[in-house]
Amino acid sequence: MSKLNPAKLTLEDFPKQRDWIGPLFTVLNSFTGDLVGALSNGINVEDNLFQEIREIKWRNSSGDYPLKFRSKFKTNPKGLYPIYLFDHTTNAYSTLQPWVVWSYNEGSILISNISGLTSGTTYTIRLKVEYG
């Protein structure tokens, strides 16, 4: 993909309209700069997408469920996907594939179980929650 590099609008290019066009150029040049920044790897999950990333540290035992957190948006998520798992017992990234059992109720996500993990082990899991 080519790099976007738009030219800035200047008053010198429009000498007859100088009196009224200056404020318009300020707004347009600012918008163009923001847009180019966003399209040049400036878009991120937290600020720009209808999703969020949450990180939870917990001990995997039946007594430590449910796990609960407030969702960023006031709508039912479409999916919740584990994208990172760290095993604090071995101090290493885990190669296990967890399956998250969750529900949504009144602005909160409730995790009732994360299967596929070793019982009694402390983990940190990072979850990507998609809403749309």
Q: For 8-28, what is each residue's pLDDT tens digit?
A: 888 888 888 888 888 898 899
Q: For 65-112, what is each residue's pLDDT tens digit?
A: 999 999 999 999 999 999 999 999 999 999 888 999 999 999 999 999
Q: Give the pLDDT confidence score for residue 20 in this predicted structure.
A: 87
Give me the residue spans of the domains in the chain. 1-43, 49-130
Q: Extract long-range pairs of 75-78: CB within 8 Å, 24+ residues apart.
A: 75/131, 75/132, 76/104, 76/131, 77/104, 77/109, 77/129, 77/130, 77/131, 78/130, 78/131, 78/132
Q: Give the pLDDT confidence score for residue 2 in this predicted structure.
A: 56
Q: Give the pLDDT confidence score for residue 84 in this predicted structure.
A: 95
- Say if CB 64 and CB 58 are below 8 A apart: yes
CATH code of the region 49-130: 2.60.40
Split at pLDDT 50, 70, 90, the class of 5 is confident
